[in-house]
Amino acid sequence: MELYSIPTGHFKLDGGAMFGVVPKSIWHKLNPADDNNMCSWAMRCLLVQDGKRLILIDNGIGDKQDAKFFSYYYLHGDNSLDKSLAKHGFSKDDITDVFLTHLHFDHCGGSITWNKDKTGYVPAFKNATYWSTPKHWEWATHPNPREKASFLKENILPIKESGQLKMVEDDGSAQLPFSVWYTYGHTEAMMHPLIKHKGRNLLYCADFLPARWHIPLPYVMAYDVRPLESMKEKERMLNELHATDTLLFFEHDPVTECATLQKTEKGSIAQKELFSLEEFFGK
């Protein structure tokens, strides 16, 4: 097995929304905001090469939305999904599986693209199986008012219409070369691949821990539909991740790809070492 970090670019989100009840006087020192209170965040995916399978975990925001939509999110940076795949010698047509942690637009927008004459939508990964989970698929296709703006039907419905959609069952171990953890605080049944690689475990954090700054328990996004559940999940999972010396892979941290954990003198869990995926595992 080989793992590749796949950066797809940066975007901006409101700092208050990303840090929840934490005051700006504190979080602004971590990720400084611009004049519009917007902070820069990465959209970092993970490519898992396992034998003949190439499994892409999430795929960024895509490029099919209109200029008005993108004006809200200030896309920036030189990275793109195509460039990052090409860096490792791959293209979208090589992807055999697209694993979607959840169906918010910044995680699955690259799943679907325009057809040649822009009259309809087609899968961006024509040779891939797309993986979701029944509880989250139902949640996303019948969205509540709070999340409706994040579940864009043009990102989601064409996946099923293409016939390329499959559902992850239980922990996913019979279908995929990794197990799957579920969380319910950010959204219903968000999936997190837990990957065993070179003697270590790696958890793809998605929006459970968007960045290293979200490790402390009170740092819960205002986007989360069940913030108290997020805190409970975080406390339970961080203790287990620390006990098993599991590596964290951050999807939205603007700089840091990976971190290990340590227990402080007060007994809380905090970041320990920070590094890139390549620095930790080598090329």
Contact 75, 106 (CB under 8 A): no
Quote the CA–CA distance of 133 and 99 in Å, as a whole number. Answer: 10
Quote the CA–CA distance of 176 and 48 in Å, as a whole number. Answer: 10
Q: Token digits for 203?
A: 């958890």
Print pLDDT tens along the chain (283 aa).
Answer: 999 999 999 999 999 999 999 999 999 999 999 999 999 999 999 999 999 999 999 999 999 999 999 999 999 999 999 999 999 999 999 999 999 999 999 999 999 999 988 889 999 999 999 999 999 999 999 999 999 999 999 999 999 999 999 999 878 888 999 999 999 999 999 999 999 999 999 999 999 999 999 999 999 999 999 999 999 999 999 999 999 999 999 999 999 999 999 999 999 999 999 999 998 887 5
Q: What angle do helix axes 153-161 and 134-141 make, rounded to 10 degrees?
A: 130
Quote the CA–CA distance of 251 and 209 in Å, as a whole number. Answer: 8
H or E segment to which residue 241 belongs: helix 227-243
CATH class of 2-281: alpha beta
